[in-house]
């Protein structure tokens, strides 16, 4: 890649620039800065939309009472029940049980504050999900920029 | 101790290593560190899945670049991990109180100074802690252009995240650097060691791993279109995002070969540098672009085109690494000078 070809395209960098190496004058490699590359943006956007879909899916299921709000908060932290279990020091089996609304409703204060710490979500928010869809990873600003 | 200079780098671990060594008085460019640490790698094992996606890695194990560079240059270092977050924090705070910049392995999700689009549960991100300050820490993250601040709780979450490649609070820093390291010898060892590793006959690593990925891509034809697109996007993200993997690594390695060839006045490495640039262009312009076209339903690219591009990249690299092994400098080639002019480029 030549220095003049270093992509300066739309991205999610929000004003940041990434360092990369490119061939400059006299065929010498130089450190160049890229504002973004369309190909990378396409892959990032695809992954983020997928994650947002999982979050919304969990939110709807929690609202409908099919799963506990914990499932939603795991999704917003990009955590599987297994990962959440590793962070909390609980067995995956137990964490999966806590995804049942009935079991979650009876959860002890201690376990709730444990989840609150692991997920970085205040206890009172842990017990509910937002009433309307909203993006967690894809900032609206970024979306507006890229249509 | 001199004031710490921030280094904006293409890859987190080579950037952290170069900045830490420079602070100790050993000036090396990031590509030189990347090459000495044999940062170029490829790993595609069967069956292993991360968040439902196959594990594809363009980088070596976190911590490997730092360790290899230190070993090859005779730099002494400390590296510790912790069972308890409390002890990990105490150790970090004590080092910072003594003005020692410390390399840290972290989980990117909790690094709130990144745009939310970049925060993911990836445990192999490296950065440097510089000092404790009000409500947190002053950090030097080589992915960014400036110093950043992070609150203490977030840094603790990032250092003690669990899961694949869990950092377990890993911290590392050089304790003493040799005043006149044998750079020529270290480069020679690194070039042949790196080439051998990429040509390793084990079919899941190096160029054979890339060919295996090409076969994998062809086999995805039986999957539904949506899944195909997700898999292709996944490879690009592993290549471009998680530490600027594929193409970016090729360009950085080409920069290393160029600098090495000039320092040792060894022409074949300059030729190898040009060929490595071509390999990087192949990853970038042919492979990644074809993937993006399919994801966005643009153009006529098919999975076979993607696989063909991968095979072309693997062919170029196979020939190049064989060329490097066949054209090793003789023992009598020494570093022209241990000057540091090239490092500041």
Q: Which of B159, B176, B193 is the last residue of a domain?
A: B176
Residues B239 and B123 in one domain: no
Residues B115 and B221 in one domain: no
Q: Is residue B235 part of a domain?
A: yes
Please give the pLDDT value at position B340.
45
Chain A residues in contact with B288 (beta carbon < 8 A):
39-40
Please give the pLDDT value at position B93.
98
- Number of domains, chain B: 2
Q: Which chain A residue shows the shortest CA-CA distance from B8?
A: A19
Is A113 in CB contact (< 8 Å) with chain B?
A: no
Distance from CA of A43 to the nearest CA of B (A): 5
Residues B53 and B148 in one domain: yes
Q: At what angle do helices B225-236 and B206-219 cross, to 10 degrees?
A: 160
Residues B285 and B305 in one domain: yes
Residues B187 and B137 in one domain: no
Q: Is residue B258 part of a domain?
A: yes
Q: Which of B176, B205, B236 is the last residue of a domain?
A: B176
Q: Under an 8 A CB cutoff, do B237 and A43 touch?
A: yes
Distance from CA of A140 to the nearest CA of B (A): 11
Q: Is residue B120 part of a domain?
A: yes
Please give the pLDDT value at position B117.
87
- Mean pLDDT by runs of 10 across the 345 residues of chain B is 90 97 96 96 89 86 95 97 97 97 97 90 94 96 96 97 94 96 96 96 96 96 94 86 72 97 96 97 92 92 96 97 94 53 42
Are the C-beta atoms of B57 and B239 separated by less than 8 Å? no
Q: At what angle do helices B246-263 and B183-198 cross, to 10 degrees?
A: 140
Please give the pLDDT value at position B191.
97
Name B128's bridge partners. Answer: B103, B140
Q: Is residue B122 part of a domain?
A: yes
The model's pTM is 0.93
Q: Under an 8 A CB cutoff, do A86 and B163 touch?
A: yes
Please give the pLDDT value at position B335.
53
What range does the domain containing B63 cover? 12-176
Please give the pLDDT value at position B242.
57
Please give the pLDDT value at position B87.
98
Is A22 in CB contact (< 8 Å) with chain B?
A: yes
Summarised one tens digit per residue, pLDDT across range A81-120 is 999 999 999 999 999 999 999 999 999 999 999 999 999 9
Q: Is residue B37 part of a domain?
A: yes
Residues B224 and B287 in one domain: yes
Residues B52 and B95 in one domain: yes
Q: What share of chain B is helix, strand, coil (3-state, %, to 5)?
A: 50, 10, 35
DSSP B169-213: T-EEEEEE--SS--HHHHHHHHHHHHHHHHT-SSTTBHHHHHHHH
Residues B103 and B205 in one domain: no
Is A49 in CB contact (< 8 Å) with chain B?
A: no
Please give the pLDDT value at position B333.
60
Helix (H) or strand (E) holding B111: none
Is B291 in CB contact (< 8 Å) with chain A?
A: yes
Q: Under an 8 A CB cutoff, do B233 and A139 touch?
A: no
Helix (H, G, I), strand (E, B) or coil at A48: helix
The CATH number assigned to the domain holding B89 equals 3.90.70.10
Tokens 């995956």 found at: A92
Residues B168 and B292 in one domain: no
Residue A143 phi, psi dihedral angles, 5° rounding? -65, -40
For testing contact with chain B, the best of A37, A43, A141 (most B CBs within 10 A): A43
| Nearest by Cα to B285 from B311, B314, B313 | B313
How many Å apart are CA A29 and CA A98, to the nearest integer?
55
Q: Under an 8 A CB cutoff, do A43 and B233 touch?
A: yes
Chain A residues in contact with B109 (beta carbon < 8 A):
77-78
Q: Is residue B6 part of a domain?
A: no
Is B106 in CB contact (< 8 Å) with chain A?
A: no
Is A20 in CB contact (< 8 Å) with chain B?
A: yes
Residues B187 and B169 in one domain: no
How many Å apart are CA B343 and CA B345, to the nearest integer?
6
Q: Is residue B3 part of a domain?
A: no
Q: Is residue B1 part of a domain?
A: no
Q: Which chain A residue shows the shortest CA-CA distance from B50?
A: A80
Q: Which of B176, B199, B225 is the last residue of a domain?
A: B176
The CB-side HSE value for B340 (13 A sphere, CA atoms) comes to 13
Is A66 in CB contact (< 8 Å) with chain B?
A: no
Residues B18 and B88 in one domain: yes
Residues B261 and B188 in one domain: yes
Chain A residues in contact with B280 (beta carbon < 8 A):
1
Strand runs labelled E in chain B = 49-50, 53-54, 76-80, 102-106, 125-133, 136-140, 148-151, 171-176
Residue A4 phi, psi dihedral angles, 5° rounding? -70, -15
């Amino acid at each position: 890649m030549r220095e003049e070809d270093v992509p300066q395209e739309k991205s999610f960098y929000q004003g940041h620039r990434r360092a990369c190496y490119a061939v400059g004058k006299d065929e010498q490699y130089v450190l160049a800065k890229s504002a973004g590359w369309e190909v990378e943006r396409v892959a990032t956007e695809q992954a983020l939309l997928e994650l947002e879909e999982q979050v919304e899916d969990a939110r709807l299921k929690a609202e409908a009472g099919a799963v506990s709000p914990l499932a939603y908060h795991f999704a917003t932290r990009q955590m599987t029940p297994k990962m959440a279990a590793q962070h909390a020091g609980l067995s995956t089996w137990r964490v999966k049980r806590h995804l049942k609304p009935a079991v979650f409703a009876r959860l002890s204060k201690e376990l709730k504050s444990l989840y609150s710490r692991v997920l970085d979500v205040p206890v009172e928010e842990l017990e509910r999900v937002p009433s309307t869809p909203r993006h967690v990873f894809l900032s609206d600003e970024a979306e507006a920029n890229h249509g | 101790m001199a004031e710490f200079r921030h280094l904006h780098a293409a890859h987190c671990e080579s950037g952290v290593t170069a900045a830490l060594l420079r602070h100790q008085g050993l000036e090396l460019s990031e590509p030189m560190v990347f090459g000495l640490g044999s940062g170029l790698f490829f790993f595609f094992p069967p069956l292993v899945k991360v968040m439902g996606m196959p594990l594809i890695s363009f980088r070596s194990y976190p911590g490997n670049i730092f360790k290899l560079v230190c070993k090859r240059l005779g730099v002494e270092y400390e590296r510790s991990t912790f069972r308890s977050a409390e002890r990990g924090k105490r150790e970090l705070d004590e080092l910072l109180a003594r003005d020692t910049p410390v390399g840290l392995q972290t989980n990117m999700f909790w690094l709130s100074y990144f745009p939310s689009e970049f925060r993911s549960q990836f445990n192999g991100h490296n950065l440097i802690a510089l000092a404790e300050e009000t409500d947190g820490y002053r950090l030097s993250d080589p992915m960014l252009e400036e110093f950043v601040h992070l609150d203490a709780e977030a840094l603790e979450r990032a250092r003690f995240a669990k899961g694949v490649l869990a950092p377990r609070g890993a911290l590392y820093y050089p304790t003493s650097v040799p005043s006149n390291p044998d750079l020529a010898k270290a480069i020679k060892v690194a070039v042949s060691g790196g080439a051998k590793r990429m040509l390793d006959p084990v079919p899941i690593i190096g160029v054979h791993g890339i060919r295996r990925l090409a076969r994998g891509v062809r086999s995805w034809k039986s999957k539904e279109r949506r899944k195909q697109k997700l898999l292709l996007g996944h490879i690009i993200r592993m290549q471009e995002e998680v530490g600027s993997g594929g193409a970016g690594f090729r360009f950085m390695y080409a920069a290393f070969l160029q600098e090495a060839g000039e320092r040792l006045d060894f022409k074949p490495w300059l030729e190898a540098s040009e060929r490595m640039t071509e390999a990087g262009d192949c990853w970038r312009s042919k492979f990644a672009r074809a993937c993006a076209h399919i994801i966005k339903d643009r153009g006529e690219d098919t999975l076979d085109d993607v696989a063909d591009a991968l095979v072309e990249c693997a062919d170029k690299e196979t020939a190049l690494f064989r060329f490097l092994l066949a054209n090793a400098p003789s023992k009598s080639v020494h570093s022209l000078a241990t000057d540091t002019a090239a490092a500041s480029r």
